[in-house]
Structure 1
């Protein structure tokens, strides 16, 4: 069963998750301030995920600046995410949707019940909290960062 995620034009579900440093991050913290690139990925330390997150790290000024905030969400624990961030030099928020397990991933329609993790879903949310662009890929399929840049440019 393919997961489609929530659709464009939908108000993005608010959430409150801990980042890799144990700090609470809320989607609503960015409302009126920044567009948000909300990226779900299956697991830290896996090949495709590490590649995607390092590619974002290498292009970070496009995704974390005065106008845009990148938030990456997985179902890993905050402790796992801290070690992953340190190992890979990831300076942006890695959010833990660990407990209740997958609650935020489910709210966005990207939780794979069979595998017990989020699939690769990305949602670009404008400053009003509305989803403006989405892509949902299967577990093995990396996403194209240039598509994010184009979508952000259209806001």
Structure 2
């Protein structure tokens, strides 16, 4: 069960696709965060969703907002994937402890060993203000994220 809107977002620190540590609380007071969980790099629906984010990047990476994409892939896998797809936003590795951050947000599928398609808008104060969770095969609509961020 995904965490509820209105609750404080669980803090985490994960390595990005370049090996740098990224901490959610590091954005507190500075930026809203679009926290985007996806199952796996190099898969059809995930790649399509991330390309869609890339196509609308100014809406999600700007002075007011930071996009953080999280999967259970390893850092080296995310590095190759990010380079191949020209993704200029952090791809965070929830590889070890496997799925710990995804579990904290209630979007880890234990049977499949990956996150489901969960997206959370975390405001500058660190609270979840909007969320959507889709099943593994169901892509999300990028326009919904834009509306949620505009509502803050």
Give the TM-score range, shorter chain. Answer: over 0.9
The reply on whether 1:41 has 2:38 as its aligned counterpart is: yes
Displacement over 6 Å in runs of 4+: none
Is residue 109 of structure 2 the alignment partner of residue 112 of structure 1?
yes
Q: CA deviation at 1:41?
A: 0.1
TM-score (norm 2): 0.99
1:84 CA drift (Å):
0.2
- Does residue 85 (structure 1) correspond to residue 72 (structure 2)? The answer is no
Residue by residue, what CA displacement relative to the aligned partner does 1:62-84 show, whole Å, maximum 9, x if unpaired? 00000000000000000000000
Structure-2 separation of matches of 1:153 and 1:21: 30
The one-character-per-residue Cα deviations of 1:25-70 (angstroms, maximum 9, x if unpaired) are: 0000000000000000000000000000010001000000000000
Write the distance in 1 (CA, Å) between the matches of 2:42 and 2:68: 17
2:134 is equivalent to residue 132 of structure 1: no
Output the TM-score relative to the length of structure 1: 0.97
Q: Which consecutive unaligned segments of at least 5 residues does structure 1 have?
A: none
Correspondence for 1:64 among 58, 61, 65: 61
| SS class of match (2:97) | coil
The offset of 1:125, in angstroms, is: 0.3
The alignment covers a number of residue pairs equal to 152
Structure 2: 5+ residue runs without aligned partners?
none
The alignment's C-alpha RMSD in Å is 0.4
Q: CA deviation at 1:106?
A: 0.2
1:24 aligns with 2:34: no
